[in-house]
Structure 1
Amino acid sequence: DKHIEGWKKVTDAVHKAGGYMYIQLMHAGRMSHPDNTPHHRQPVAPSAIAPGVEMFTAKGMQDIPVPRELSEEDIQTTIADFRKAAAAAIKAGADGVEIHGANGYLINQFIGENSNTRTDEYGGSIENRTRFAIEVTKAIVEEIGAERTGFRISPGTPLGGIQDGEQGPELYRYLVKELAKLDLAYLHVMHLGNEKLLQDIRSIWTNPLLVNRAGRALEDLSVDIDRGLADLVPVGVWSLANPDLVERLQKGAPLNEADPTTFFGLGSKGYTDYPTMEELESQEG
Structure 2
Amino acid sequence: MFGNMIANMMVKPFQSPLFDSPANYGLEYENVEFKARDDVTIRGWLIKSGTDRVIIQSHFGVQCNRAGYSPDGKGLIKPWKQDIPFLRQAKYLSDNGYSVLMYDLRGHGESDIGTTPWVSWGPEEAKHVIAAVDYISKHPDYRDASLGLLSICMGSASTTYAYGLDDGLRKYPGIKAMIAVQPLLYSYFVDAFGMPGFLQRAGSKVTAERLGFDLNTRSFLPDARQITVPTMVVQNKNDPWTNLEMVKEYYDNLAVEKEMKWLDIEKSRFAAYDFVGREPEKLFGWFDRHMMAKN
Relative to the length of structure 2, the TM-score reads 0.38
User: Whose relative contact order is higher, 1 or 2, with alpha carbons under 8 Å and at least 6 apart?
Assistant: 2
Structure with bigger helix share is: 1
Relative to the length of structure 1, the TM-score reads 0.39
Structure with bigger strand share is: 2
